[in-house]
Chains A and B, each alone.
Chain A
Amino acid sequence: MSDTFFFAVEVAINGLMAGVMYALVALGFVLIFKASGVFNYAQGVMALFAALTLVGIQSGQIPFAHVINATFGTHLSSFGWNVPSLLAILLTMGVMVLFAILVERLVLKHLVNQEPIILFMATIGLAFFLEGLGDLMWGSEIKKLDVGLPQGISGTIENVTHEWFGYGFFIDRLDIIAAMVATVLVIALTAYSRYTKQGRALRAVADDHQAALSVGISLRFIWVLVWSIAGFVALVAGIMWGTKSGVQFSLSLIALKALPVLMLGGFTSIPGAIVGGLIIGVGEKLFEFFVGPMVGGATENWFAYVLALVFLVFRPQGLFGEKIIERV
């Protein structure tokens, strides 16, 4: 078989891996949408914020150092200690839970019964707020995130495939880890929502808010819970993306791509998020590979959106979404 074919296969595999990354962000969207009907635009920025916080805690940065310096003329920068990765991750998780509680207290509680589009716009506001806050707290320069995940091209896979096909596949080890983490995450989340008490409550809320309330499920607790889980997913996504390409603003733009992923997979389906992510990942890489050179490249910027747009015209609820039934 020719090298072009193998190269295309390699591109496709890398696309799958990128798709896993998209799916990680999309997962957070789906969770919140199912439980509260909120289309959480801020999910991408949450990943960015989580990654920023993690780096900040790890390297012992003082929050708001720049602001304090600018206002009082001091020269603070860091506490001078380094926090171990695991502890830093736990602390960041704590920050994300706190964030979930605050969001519920300050935003969601007051917007109950508003139209979905109003809630959507509120999360856009939330995204801007969080973006500004993250930059103010930790500074806006590009940071390196290292929590000890393996990186670089996997030598083993290259050697093995070279022996088998006479063509060595280049695959980033981090991508493999990300794929495994995503798998574990999906299984864990599915198990959680199926077998635990909170999980059942979660599904009840997703089914019908009022009915859930009437059997004694606290909606507010569920919202905090689900935003915390989404915060956790954002943290995982932030770690993966941050390790891959550094913690920077573009992280939240990459996360924007989770939107077409969702549209493909359907807003209400966890497997849909994964499958949609894989389709978009492979699709955009292959499109860039075959068509990109003809039209000047950088098609990855829009391919996902256009694919989702075309797809939706034929199937408005996405691949796995519930059929949309409208009544007057």
Chain B
Amino acid sequence: MFYREAGDFKTSYVEDGQTFPIRLDRWGYYAIVFIAFAAIPFLINDYWANAVFVPFLIYSIAALGLNVLTGYAGQVSLGTGGFMAVGAFACYKLMTAFPEINIVFHIIVSGGITAAVGMLFGLPSLRIKGFYLAVATLAAQFFLVWLFNKVPWFYNYSASGQITAPERTVFGVAVTGPHTEAWAKYMVCLVFVFVLAWMVRNMTRGTLGRKWMAIRDMDIAAEIIGVSPLPAKLTAFGVSSFLVGIAGALFFAVYLGAAEVGEAFGPQKSFLVLFMIIIGGLGSVFGSFAGAAFMVLLPVLLKNLLVGGLGWPTDLATHFEIMLVGALIIVFLIAEPHGIAQLWRLAKEKLRLWPFPH
């Protein structure tokens, strides 16, 4: 009753093929976009930006990226942290080498550089499958982090080995550096999320996405019906790494401001993003957002509850959080292997009929 498609008639192919064919979905989407662009920037403060919105948006991009690779193309990757590091360091080098160019271009180019690196590490995927590939991507994770740690050129020979984002502006407003206002950080990330999510959504429902899904479901069968695995897998790695690289660049430049590679982009980060897409839903754009929101909000909630409410020390709360995340993953895999996205789908089915059972 509350969610329905009745009376929603299509009279042209364009209408039929749109991203949100159901009117209610479309309105919901417009409403969310409107709130995100026109309401939140005026209400946001530093705490909400740094604790919730900015990490949520950045992790959404990373989760989208990994979802392209793992959810759509079926190639499990544990190297997300390493690829985020590539994006961050590429962005840092570009920012310091070409200070006169707008940072938005730097971030996009860092995505491109990460895509190239990702495709390089994706090459073995043509021979290696499944777990073997998952472990092989760990090679990217450890090697890249080591590389950025050991080669001083990457961090401009700074004494601490850290990279620090200098102040850069977009339309005269500072978006990186210590003087950035909360809404500026938020808007930069939001624009990237909006454009990239739109891009991914349209890619995955076109030829490219169908090729990826064919490869995911069974690569040999896909090959037989004429999907060439080389371009399909490499584009998946490329697009995925592009997104992850942009997430890494934003994570360093806009969110952290200064980063130490082992700490910010270690293997833990890879697992975090992987968990996001498992909990959110593999092979779903909505799932990437849901998973990112879940994994960003959970620690904030737990911290408020345990440290603020029960007075636990923070380290205990952290351990409890790790334990809870592990348990939740198992529960999700058992109860709903397709994640929050599937729960949402089921909820919509229920809402269609509710409160009348038939």
Of A1-9, A125-133, A149-157, A237-245, the one touching chain B: A125-133
Are A140 and B334 within 8 A (Cβ)? no
How long is the Cα–Cα vector from A300 to B151 in the complex, in angstroms?
16
Q: Which residues of B contact A301 (CB under 8 A)?
A: 142, 145-146
Q: Which residues of A contact B311 (CB under 8 A)?
A: 70
Q: Tell me the residues in window 302-331 of chain B with beta carbons closer than 8 Å to chain A beta carbons.
A: 310-313, 315-316, 319-330
Are A71 and B138 within 8 A (Cβ)? no
The answer to whether the Cβ of A81 comes within 8 Å of any Cβ in the partner chain is no
Known: A302-B139, A302-B143. A125 touches B327 (CB 8 A): yes
The answer to whether the Cβ of A255 comes within 8 Å of any Cβ in the partner chain is no
**Min CB gap A100→B, angstroms:** 15
Q: Which residues of B contact A295 (CB under 8 A)?
A: 150
The answer to whether the Cβ of A189 comes within 8 Å of any Cβ in the partner chain is no
How long is the Cα–Cα vector from A326 to B218 in the complex, in angstroms?
10
**Who on chain A is nearest to B332 by CB?**
A125
**Who on chain B is nearest to A123 by CB?**
B330
The answer to whether the Cβ of A80 comes within 8 Å of any Cβ in the partner chain is no
The answer to whether the Cβ of B20 comes within 8 Å of any Cβ in the partner chain is no
Chain B window 130-145, contacts with chain A (Cβ cutoff 8 Å), 1 for yes, 0 for no: 1110111011011101
How long is the Cα–Cα vector from A76 to B120 in the complex, in angstroms?
54
Central interface residue in A39, A71, A121, by most chain B CB within 10 Å: A121
Q: Which residues of B contact A328 (CB under 8 A)?
A: 218, 220-221, 224
Are A296 and B151 within 8 A (Cβ)? yes
The answer to whether the Cβ of B69 comes within 8 Å of any Cβ in the partner chain is no
Known: A118-B337, A122-B329, A136-B316. A308 touches B136 (CB 8 A): yes
The answer to whether the Cβ of B76 comes within 8 Å of any Cβ in the partner chain is yes
Are B143 and A316 within 8 A (Cβ)? no
How long is the Cα–Cα vector from A127 to B333 in the complex, in angstroms?
14
Are A118 and B312 within 8 A (Cβ)? no
Are A313 and B128 within 8 A (Cβ)? yes
The answer to whether the Cβ of B231 comes within 8 Å of any Cβ in the partner chain is no
Identify which of A128, A133, A259 contacts B329 (C-beta below 8 A). A128
Identify which of B278, B322, B333 contacts A132 (C-beta below 8 A). B322
**Who on chain A is nearest to B142 by CB?**
A302
The answer to whether the Cβ of B179 comes within 8 Å of any Cβ in the partner chain is no
Q: Which residues of B contact A121 (CB under 8 A)?
A: 274, 278, 329, 333
**Who on chain B is nearest to A119 by CB?**
B333
Of A87-95, A107-115, A180-188, A194-202, the one touching chain B: A107-115
Are B337 and A114 within 8 A (Cβ)? yes
**Min CB gap B155→A, angstroms:** 13
Identify which of B142, B150, B324 contacts A305 (C-beta below 8 A). B142
Secondary structure dominating the interface of B = helix
**Who on chain B is nearest to A324 by CB?**
B129
Are A128 and B142 within 8 A (Cβ)? no
How long is the Cα–Cα vector from A127 to B79 in the complex, in angstroms?
18
Identify which of B131, B146, B330, B333 contacts A299 (C-beta below 8 A). B146
Are A305 and B138 within 8 A (Cβ)? yes
Chain A window 223-263, contacts with chain B (Cβ cutoff 8 Å), 1 for yes, 0 for no: 00000000000000000000000000000010010011011
Q: Which residues of A contact B143 (CB under 8 A)?
A: 302, 305-306
Are A127 and B146 within 8 A (Cβ)? no
Q: Tell me the residues in window 48-83 of chain A with beta carbons closer than 8 Å to chain B beta carbons.
A: 66-67, 70-71
Q: Tell me the residues in window 17-58 of chain A with beta carbons closer than 8 Å to chain B beta carbons.
A: 39
The answer to whether the Cβ of B345 comes within 8 Å of any Cβ in the partner chain is no
**Min CB gap B330→A, angstroms:** 4
The answer to whether the Cβ of B34 comes within 8 Å of any Cβ in the partner chain is no
The answer to whether the Cβ of A298 comes within 8 Å of any Cβ in the partner chain is yes
The answer to whether the Cβ of B127 comes within 8 Å of any Cβ in the partner chain is yes
How long is the Cα–Cα vector from A109 to B329 in the complex, in angstroms?
16
Are A132 and B131 within 8 A (Cβ)? no
Are B138 and A127 within 8 A (Cβ)? no
**Who on chain A is nearest to B262 by CB?**
A301
The answer to whether the Cβ of B28 comes within 8 Å of any Cβ in the partner chain is no
Q: Which residues of A contact B330 (CB under 8 A)?
A: 106-107, 122, 125-126, 129
Q: Which residues of B contact A136 (CB under 8 A)?
A: 316, 319-320, 323
Q: Which residues of A contact B30 (CB under 8 A)?
A: none
**Min CB gap A323→B, angstroms:** 14
The answer to whether the Cβ of A222 comes within 8 Å of any Cβ in the partner chain is no
**Min CB gap A73→B, angstroms:** 9
The answer to whether the Cβ of A309 comes within 8 Å of any Cβ in the partner chain is yes
Are B131 and A308 within 8 A (Cβ)? no
Given A107-B330, A118-B333, A128-B325, 4 more pairs with CB closer than 8 A: A125-B275, A125-B326, A129-B323, A136-B320
Query: 19 A-B pairs, CB-CB below 8 angstroms?
Result: A70-B316, A71-B310, A71-B312, A114-B333, A114-B337, A122-B334, A125-B325, A125-B327, A129-B327, A132-B325, A136-B316, A260-B135, A305-B139, A305-B142, A305-B143, A306-B139, A309-B128, A309-B139, A327-B220
Chain A residues with CB under 8 Å of chain B are 39, 66-67, 70-71, 106-107, 110-111, 114, 116-118, 120-122, 124-133, 135-136, 140, 253, 256, 259-260, 262-263, 267, 295-299, 301-302, 305-306, 308-309, 312-313, 316, 326-328
